[in-house]
């Protein structure tokens, strides 16, 4: 068994998810922890067909137009993969 930490490089850029620089050192901060029980897993983008099951097409289009929501696709994809 292991603990997975879902991450995508976009999470370290400015977005609603990462206001300021709170994830600037992530995931490098885990470099000091050497354990086979900890794994960094790259969050894939979520499938848009799955999003359409819970969001309207209009909402998805608004999110696509907001550059601060650029991490949303990988954040949701990590949740689905987990």
The whole model's pTM is what?
0.75
pLDDT per residue over 35-69, tens digit each? 888 888 999 999 999 999 999 999 999 999 987 78
Query: How many CB atoms neighbour CB 76 within 10 A?
Result: 19
Kindly tell me if the per-residue pLDDT of 70 is higher than 80.
no
Kindly tell me if the per-residue pLDDT of 14 is higher than 90.
no
Kindly tell me if the per-residue pLDDT of 17 is higher than 70.
no
Query: How many CB atoms neighbour CB 8 within 10 A?
Result: 20
Structural domain containing residue 44: 3-81
What's the structural domain count of the chain?
A: 1
- Flag the least confident range among 24-28, 42-46, 69-73: 24-28
Retrieve residue 73's tokens: 């696709």
HSE-up (13 A, CA, CB side) for residue 67: 2
């Amino acid at each position: 068994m292991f603990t997975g930490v879902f991450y995508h490089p976009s999470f370290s850029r400015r977005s609603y998810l990462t206001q300021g620089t709170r994830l600037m050192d992530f995931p490098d901060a885990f470099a000091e922890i050497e354990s086979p029980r900890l794994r960094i897993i790259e969050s894939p983008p979520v499938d848009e067909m799955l999003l359409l099951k819970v969001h309207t097409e209009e909402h998805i289009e608004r999110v696509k137009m907001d550059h601060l929501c650029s991490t949303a696709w990988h954040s949701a994809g990590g949740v689905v993969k987990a």
